[in-house]
Amino acid sequence: MAFVVTDNCIKCKYTDCVEVCPVDCFHEGPNFLVIDPDECIDCTLCEPECPAEAIYAEDDVPEDQREFIRLNAELAKEWPVITEKKDPPPDADDWNGVKGKLKYLER
What is the model's pLDDT at position 105?
98
Q: Which residues contact 53 (CB under 8 A, 6 or more apart)?
A: 8
Pairing mode of beta strands 55-57, 3-5: antiparallel
Is 39 inside any structural domain?
Answer: yes
What is the model's pLDDT at position 69?
98
Is 99 inside any structural domain?
Answer: no
Is 54 inside any structural domain?
Answer: yes
What sign does the CA torsion over 76, 82, 88, 89 have?
negative
Is 100 inside any structural domain?
Answer: no
Is 26 inside any structural domain?
Answer: yes
What does residue 76 show for φ and ψ, rounded to 5 degrees?
-65, -25
Whether the predicted model's global pTM rises above the 0.95 cut: yes
- Spatial separation of the C-alpha atoms in residues 26 and 32, rounded to whole Å: 10
Give the number of domains in the chain: 1
SS3 4: strand
Is 97 inside any structural domain?
Answer: no
- Spatial separation of the C-alpha atoms in residues 76 and 3, rounded to whole Å: 13
Task: Give the residue numbers spanning the domain of 50.
Answer: 3-82
Is 41 inside any structural domain?
Answer: yes
Question: What CATH number is associated with residue 19?
Answer: 3.30.70.20
What is the model's pLDDT at position 20?
98
Q: Could you tell me the mean pLDDT of each successive run of 10 residues in the chain, 107 residues long?
A: 97 97 98 98 98 98 98 98 97 97 98
